[in-house]
Amino acid sequence: DIQMTQSPSTLSASVGDRVTITCRASQSISSWLAWYQQKPGKAPKLLIYKASSLESGVPSRFSGSGSGTEFTLTISSLQPDDFATYYCQQYNSYSLTFGGGTKVEIK
Amino acid sequence: QLQLQESGPGLVKPSETLSLTCTVSGGSISSSSYYWGWIRQPPGKGLEWIGSIYYSGSTYYNPSLKSRVTISVDTSKNQFSLKLSSVTAADTAVYYCARSRSSHHAFDIWGQGTMVTVSS
């Protein structure tokens, strides 16, 4: 099984900050990586697919990069609505795994 | 606008089988462009993929749950279902159904989730 390791697990930041979250795969997954945002009591929301493709309707301050085993999600200027938990998810050979999550808190 | 809705018992006894159904509205489950999946989230914890199914009935499962999981599809009712056998308290979670695109396997539409508690 492919393991996904997210870091940090918690991040404290202020409105306007540039935020970067990292996701590492235990083996190469090419660009088969997605990023989600989840708020308490709600279903996750897809932000990024195929490592760097922005889902329709998602603000352009969100961006994704990486390939192989190392990936990043960047929020260019953190907004009040962005305080949430973020998950990465990989797909490889008919198996999917989520990362452990990164909670973005208000500093 | 496509919507997914989970339904099923909110309480299941230990050792019994958890059964949930996801009803798809506003679109067809028989599209060749999508897979349909189940994901769960224990209280206060992260997301765990359970398995996915194509409209043709082909399935793929999380290896850690594979021995206990069955996912099926009923295209006539535009529904797909989850059965998880021999449940324990560790299976207590919010269960989500979701759609993933066959081109990249990210889940783009989710149901609201349903809480299932395993307790006697």
- Number of other CB atoms surrounding residue B89 within 10 Å: 11
pLDDT, mean of residues A53-62:
98
Confidence of residue A94 (pLDDT cuts 50, 70, 90): confident
A21-56 pLDDT, tens digit each: 999 999 999 999 999 999 999 999 999 999 999 999
| Minimum-distance CB partner of A96 among B49, B111, B113 | B49
Question: B54 and chain A: CB distance < 8 Å anywhere?
Answer: no
Number of domains in chain A: 1
| Minimum-distance CB partner of B113 among A43, A45, A89 | A43
Closest residue in chain A to residue B101, using alpha carbons only: A49
A101 CB neighbours in chain B (<8 A) are 46-47
CB contact under 8 A, A91 and B105: yes
Mean pLDDT, chain A, integer: 96
Contact yes or no for A24/A12 (Cβ under 8 A):
no
Give pLDDT, residue A2. 93
Q: For residue A6, give the nearest of A106, A90, A94 by alpha carbon.
A: A90
DSSP one-letter code for B15: T
| Minimum-distance CB partner of A43 among B52, B104, B110 | B110
Give pLDDT, residue A52. 98
Q: For residue B112, give the nearest of B91, B96, B89 by alpha carbon.
A: B96
User: Is A92 a residue whose pLDDT tops 90?
Assistant: no
Tens digits of pLDDT across chain B (120 residues): 999 999 999 999 999 999 999 999 999 999 999 999 999 999 999 999 999 999 999 999 999 999 999 999 999 999 999 999 999 999 999 999 999 998 889 999 999 999 999 999
Contact yes or no for A86/A21 (Cβ under 8 A):
yes
Closest residue in chain B to residue A53, using alpha carbons only: B104
Show the domain range for A61.
4-106
Q: For residue A103, give the nearest of A6, A29, A31 by alpha carbon.
A: A6
CB contact under 8 A, A1 and B64: yes
Instruction: Indicate the residue type of A7.
Output: S
Instruction: Indicate the residue type of B63.
Output: P
User: Is A1 a residue whose pLDDT tops 90?
Assistant: no
Domain containing residue A16: CATH number: 2.60.40.10
